[in-house]
């Protein structure tokens, strides 16, 4: 009887330890940062404006949780600078806080390096918008925050490569679904298109 109780206790302790270890392995978090290239797509054909992507920065962190069938839920909190120039004369710099809510799935590769497809939605809130006129203009530019919509929604699709189990290089395309400018009218109605290239590190 004593041996049976001892065996049961040992099994319970081992099960709890293995369960804690499995739970720890299923959850990860870490910082990430990189660059973005953002342009704007107008609903009507534009002859006056010629938007082109400029380099901005992306920085923040992520949390990741295993779900089922090797699918992972990844939620991020990012500061994102989106910069677009128009006819090489006007440059708009928009700073957002972004919350990407993504699903991640492995497609091929050994455990030492693995390729994943990543997709989902990105919810963003505008923090500040600045506009500079003239290529040689110095300073931050004029504040145009009140001329832009405060919130932005985008669909996101991309892929990442995880190597050495903790480093991840990520490429992502954002397809904007929301209008950029307030009261722009049909001629200047625009949505954002962006590419983000980032590197992240997973602590757990």
pLDDT for residue 93: 96
At residue 136, the pLDDT reads: 56
| 66, β-bridge pairs | 72
Cβ contact 72:65 at 8 Å: yes
Average pLDDT for consecutive 10-residue bins of the chain (204 residues)? 42 38 65 97 77 96 93 97 92 97 94 93 97 72 93 98 92 96 82 97 85
Rounded CA gap, 110 and 18, in Å? Answer: 24
Q: Kindly report the number of other CB atoms within 10 A of residue 32's CB atom.
A: 19
Q: How far apart are CA 107 and CA 122, in angstroms?
A: 22
Q: Which CATH architecture has domain 27-201?
A: Beta Barrel (2.40)
- 22 backbone φψ class: left, alpha, beta (φ>0; ψ -120 to 50): alpha
The reported pLDDT for the residue numbered 141 is 81
pLDDT, position 159: 97
Closest CA to 115 of 70, 57, 65: 70
């Amino acid at each position: 009887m004593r041996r049976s109780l001892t065996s049961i206790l040992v099994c319970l302790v081992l099960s709890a330890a293995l369960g804690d270890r499995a739970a720890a392995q299923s959850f990860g978090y870490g910082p990430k940062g990189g660059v973005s290239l953002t342009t704007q797509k107008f609903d009507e054909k534009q002859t006056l404006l010629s938007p082109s992507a400029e380099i901005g920065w992306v920085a923040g962190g992520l949390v990741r949780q295993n779900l089922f069938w090797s699918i992972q839920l990844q939620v991020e909190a990012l500061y994102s600078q989106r910069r677009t120039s128009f006819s090489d004369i006007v440059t708009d710099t928009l700073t957002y806080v972004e919350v990407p809510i993504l699903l991640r799935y492995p497609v091929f590769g050994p455990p030492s390096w693995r390729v994943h497809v990543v997709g989902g939605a990105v919810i963003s809130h505008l923090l500040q918008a600045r506009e500079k006129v003239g290529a040689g203009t110095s300073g931050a530019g004029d504040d145009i925050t009140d001329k832009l919509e405060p919130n932005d929604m985008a669909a996101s699709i991309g892929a990442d490569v995880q190597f050495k189990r903790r480093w991840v290089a990520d490429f992502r395309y954002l397809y904007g679904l929301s209008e950029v400018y307030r009261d722009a009218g049909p001629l200047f109605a625009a949505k954002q298109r962006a590419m983000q290239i980032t590197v992240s590190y997973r602590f757990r």
